[in-house]
Structure 1
């Protein structure tokens, strides 16, 4: 295990399956290169309640091989890396404890996009991390392809749009990929709503630097979900911000990103920015005020 002390912010990559580890680590490397991050690789060994945590040591050999391979992949790019094995009662608790102990800025999770089970949104481990992580979280639907020449970035405002744009911009710069920023508006939108959409696109695009090709569109369509799934056939990656949540009803990623993530014809990264109770309360109050009638 390589352990490097650094003042750099870290991206945490929990890995277990060698078939998906390379893909996840490759994405983490891209983000680390662009944002000058260090990478924390983590393997969690689940130990049943009836056994002491130390009993997990007998499983280290198998997991160590996967961790070593991932660590070597990062080192090839001259990026600071730490590899850790943690014993925990659940995978989610092991990841969440690591986030808190090592001041993680961003966590990258893999997702297979399997059909949804009742009461489980993305997966039992992912759901717990999305609910409780004290850092930004990226959920990447694993795909066999690593080609990255074109990226679709749908924007609709909200607290997770900026993080989605940051991730899309980083990947576009590293791969010299074309970035397509798109807003979907309903045929029933007012001229004011259309103007807000145009202003939001202009603001987001104005923040990009070093991206070689940027395209922008505002598409009118009655179903955001259907048009994004249809558009996904034309891109190598889609980066989506999770839907907004409120203080009183905390969704995980929102039904639209979840559905698009499952049905998209290209890989998808869903972004969720960390918000503590104070920031959620402030945003809820702001949204409520915006809905109140004005008295003159």
Structure 2
């Protein structure tokens, strides 16, 4: 008899993981981006004095004879590259002093399995890889889009395939709202880990009013204060009538760009907003798009665990 639709299996543990710690899940389905995503994950987890949970899913198709096997049998006989992914991630993290463990999941639905793991293990954030396939029906890919629109925690989506050899400058496009606040936290974590500087960029229209220009300058100053005590922070307010293209141009001279999602309507077609989507597709350097979790669950649960 087959087991439940979604089953979690612990594959390895580096050290015990206190419940009060910040927890970052990293969903890995392909061996190629492991190093890239783990580097980002380690920077963020270290900054938050947290831990990493690696998640990888073996897909069990409903209409295939494969679905008749138990999850334990599938895990034992068919884990193959999934176990390789987990082992490689654990190897990369070795010596980092960041606690990390891996979970191998068996499910008919990849996105649902990831969401259930996030909930079960009370994760504060999830890091997902994005490979640009130029499909018109999705933004990041079907499974990633589903997780981005419904996961009850902070979301980080990193473009796969363009990895900075070293990080000297981080670009932080400034905008109002919690998604940019999350982007600032991620940018700060990366900068501190790599002894890098941050360029805070706010774009205004060429016909902007004096009030709008003053507000843009104030936004940059306020965001810069959240980056303290970083000393190397440059404030930039620039005029343009083509915001996405201007940000893409600015990414060319920075190693990593971290920007918040812009749309509040989190539908399948408006996963993060047109500007982050275009920047991610067109930039030639590393891009991370951030979205603050629904219901503020990640922030609240993190602080409740600390207080408890």
- TM-score above 0.5: yes
| CA RMSD, 1 decimal | 2.0
Q: In the alignment, which residue of structure 2 is the partner of 1:187?
A: 206
Distance in 2 (CA, whole Å) between partners of 1:277 and 1:36 is 20
- SS of alignment partner, residue 184 of structure 1: strand
1:161-240 map, 5 Å: 161-240=180-259
- SS of alignment partner, residue 124 of structure 2: strand
Distance in 2 (CA, whole Å) between partners of 1:277 and 1:213 is 30
In structure 1, list runs of 5 or more residues that go unmatched. Answer: 279-296
- SS of alignment partner, residue 281 of structure 2: helix
Of the structure 1 ranges 269-278 and 133-142, higher mean CA displacement relative to structure 2 is found in 269-278
- SS of alignment partner, residue 38 of structure 2: helix
TM-score in terms of structure 2 length: 0.85
- SS of alignment partner, residue 129 of structure 1: helix
Distance in 1 (CA, whole Å) between partners of 2:95 and 2:56 is 20
2:140 to 122, 147, 150: 122
1:138 to 156, 166, 186: 156
Q: In the alignment, which residue of structure 1 is the partner of 2:18?
A: 6
1:68-79 map, 5 Å: 68-79=87-98
Q: Say if 2:262 is the partner of 1:243.
A: yes
Q: In the alignment, which residue of structure 2 is the partner of 1:56?
A: 74
Q: In the alignment, which residue of structure 1 is the partner of 2:51?
A: 38
Ranked by relative contact order (alpha carbons within 8 Å, sequence separation 6 or more), the top structure is: 2
Q: Say if 2:115 is the partner of 1:96.
A: yes
Distance in 2 (CA, whole Å) between partners of 1:249 and 1:111 is 16
2:40 to 27, 31, 40: 27
Distance in 1 (CA, whole Å) between partners of 2:269 and 2:29 is 28
In structure 2, list runs of 5 or more residues that go unmatched. Answer: 1-10, 298-308
Distance 1:19 1:248, change over 3 A: closer
**Shift in Å at residue 71 of structure 1?**
1.0
Equivalenced residue count is 277
TM-score in terms of structure 1 length: 0.88
**Shift in Å at residue 248 of structure 1?**
8.8
